Structure 1
Amino acid sequence: MTVFTAAVLQMRSGLEPEANVAALEGLVAEAVAAGADYLQSPEMTGMVQRDRAGLMQHLRGEADDLVLAAASRLARQHGVHLHVGSTAIALDNGKVANRAVLYAPDGSIKARYDKIHMFDVDLDNGESWRESRTYRPGEYAALADLAFAGGPARLGFAVCYDMRFPHLFREEALAGAEILTAPAAFTRQTGEAHWHVLLRARAIENGAYVIAAAQGGVHEDGRETYGHSLIVDPWGRIVAEVDGDGPGIALARIDTAEVAAARAKIPNLKNARPFRVGEDGNSVRVTGALEAAE
């Protein structure tokens, strides 16, 4: 059994990375003072910038990124695990990575994850997004073991739109993840309809905690995000939430024994079976969780 305190840091990131770093520093200090051991910031912590030219103007590589440098320093200063939900990182091919980075308490990088699924959608009222025009999708899921006095806790990574792809979370759970993450900059329109139900579903179907820090409010680039950063327990109960869309923090006690208890009650990870889709002789193979678990 591993027990620790997790915090979600809700932000309203703007156009200037320096200002966003200052906001992150303040929220980290507040959460650490409240007893947090693991802290998660939202997607696009470093800059919420819809204009591609404006984004590229401030963009840096991982080694020179202001947010990542600050996160490393803060993790080391406070002796905590600090998970930058994501920030935009320049790549060498003119594209951009939407990258999550987890820092260990000594300030070293524990894990990286590049968002796999691109938010290419057309919503009501003319709201349209094409992340693939700017960002290069990731190709690998990521796991990391958080080290605490009571033992390790395994963390699985995702970012925002990834939460609509349950097989990503299922594969991470089958690989031992007890805590699933989904830092986000969810639009208000989709957040009001789907945010709570999607996160609770990912927790329930995997018997895992889900931690999702969010952007919230009207940003300098004109977009509006939903907020309501959440921590959901393995039974699907919301155990912490930032109420509304303003900057703030919320904390919850994480106990991996609750993961084991939920998975013992509803052993769907073990009970899943491989199956086929289609008629006999003309079917597509689908690999079920049972094979992966074995």
Structure 2
Amino acid sequence: MKVSLLQCQSSRDVSSNLAFIKSQLELLTVDSRSHLVVLPECALLFGGHERHQLAIAAEHDASELQQALAALAKEFSVTMVAGTIPITADDGRLYSRSYLFGPQGDTLGHYDKMHLFDVDVADGTRQYRESDTFCPGDRISVIDTPFGKVGIAICYDLRFAELFRAMALAGADIIALPAAFTKVTGAAHWQVLLQARAIENQCFIAAAAQWGQHNEGSRETWGQSMLVDPWGTILAEKAQGTGWVSADVDLSANIELKQKMPVQGHNRFVAPQLLDSDANA
């Protein structure tokens, strides 16, 4: 199969961001093989305060953004991890949701970002408080596809090894990670965390990132979209700029490695358990 990661420099202009994604899909070579496309976090709206997401949020299955990206998956006959879309939650906040669309535009599953970025960073933004606008998801997501099981995590989730172990125990062959790491934290930790998660869990990691200065410099992201194999080898990466990074992937490598080095079977710790939603809030 083929995996393609789109690196974006998204703005607050939803129409422009959607047009960019479509223009990039037109550049892809799609053949009879399975083709997994991963978009970055906030691919359709990025920069400024998280509250801007409220203006484009909608209920599940009523989101025009969800429908637009599903239509693109169908038009270009790809399986798409559609970055993140704001979906309304019962408490007045939003879920940061990543959908997995099939090549017919059908919704195969979704994941709501579980770990929210409430962090102080030494950059121009300084304080990030996602929980003011978003509420955390309460379940992992490992989705069956014709080519294998796809797990989904989002950005800050990368720092939480238990989530990735839970997806590996649920059978994930490849874990997609839409992300928008800050330039400061990305420079320090992005690559080493991606390789660690791949090695620990003996699965492929497909991380699509935002890159560069957004909205006249109000936000700056790291980039370095990267595909990592179960041995920790970087199969492809795009350090800077926008556009695609692609590589062919043989998911059977997971099976062979797990047979030779059965790490999960040797693990003497209990499987991770998710805390209740109140404790995560």
Q: TM-score, normalised by structure 1?
A: 0.86
Task: Please point out which of 250, 256, 265 is paired with 1:255.
Answer: 250
- Percent identical pairs in the alignment equals 36
Q: Secondary structure at the match of 2:193?
A: helix
User: Which residue number in structure 2 is paired with residue 101 of structure 1?
Assistant: 99
User: Which residue number in structure 1 is paired with residue 224 of structure 2?
Assistant: 228
Judged with a 3 Å threshold, the aligned counterparts in structure 2 of structure 1 residues 210 and 157 are, in CA distance, closer, same or farther, namely same
Counterparts of 1:69 and 1:247, CA distance in 2: 24
Q: Is 1:59 paired with 2:54?
A: no
Shift of 1:29: 1.9
Q: Is 1:77 paired with 2:75?
A: yes
Counterparts of 2:30 and 2:141, CA distance in 1: 29
Task: Please point out which of 2, 5, 16 is paired with 1:5.
Answer: 2
Counterparts of 1:16 and 1:111, CA distance in 2: 27
User: Which residue number in structure 1 is paired with residue 166 of structure 2?
Assistant: 171
User: Which residue number in structure 2 is paired with residue 90 of structure 1?
Assistant: 88
Shift of 1:52: 4.5
User: Which residue number in structure 1 is paired with residue 277 of structure 2?
Assistant: none
Judged with a 3 Å threshold, the aligned counterparts in structure 2 of structure 1 residues 198 and 18 are, in CA distance, closer, same or farther, namely same
Q: Secondary structure at the match of 2:258?
A: helix
Shift of 1:208: 0.5
2:55 counterpart letter in structure 1: Q
Q: TM-score, normalised by structure 2?
A: 0.90
Gaps spanning 5+ residues in structure 2: where? 273-281
Gaps spanning 5+ residues in structure 1: where? 275-286, 290-294
Q: Secondary structure at the match of 1:201?
A: helix
1:21 counterpart letter in structure 2: L
2:61 counterpart letter in structure 1: A
Counterparts of 1:61 and 1:19, CA distance in 2: 23
Contact 2:46 2:214 in 1 (8 A): yes
Counterparts of 1:53 and 1:130, CA distance in 2: 10
User: Which residue number in structure 1 is paired with residue 238 of structure 2?
Assistant: 242
Superposed, 1:269-284 pairs within 5 Å as 269-274=264-269
Judged with a 3 Å threshold, the aligned counterparts in structure 2 of structure 1 residues 53 and 207 are, in CA distance, closer, same or farther, namely closer
Q: Is 1:195 paired with 2:190?
A: yes
Q: Secondary structure at the match of 2:97?
A: strand
Task: Please point out which of 10, 15, 18 is paired with 2:15.
Answer: 18
Counterparts of 1:18 and 1:94, CA distance in 2: 25
User: Which residue number in structure 1 is paired with residue 276 of structure 2?
Assistant: none
User: Aligned-pair RMSD on alpha carbons?
Assistant: 1.8
Q: Report the more deviating stretch, 182-191 or 84-93.
A: 84-93
Counterparts of 2:250 and 2:30, CA distance in 1: 20
Superposed, 1:20-39 pairs within 5 Å as 20-33=17-30, 37-39=35-37
Which aligned segments of 4 or more residues in structure 1 are displaced greater than 6 angstroms?
none
Q: How many residues align?
A: 269
User: Which residue number in structure 2 is paired with residue 282 of structure 1?
Assistant: none
User: Which residue number in structure 1 is paired with residue 130 of structure 2?
Assistant: 131
Contact 1:9 1:28 in 2 (8 A): no
Counterparts of 1:163 and 1:58, CA distance in 2: 26
1:133 counterpart letter in structure 2: D
User: Which residue number in structure 2 is paired with residue 281 of structure 1?
Assistant: none
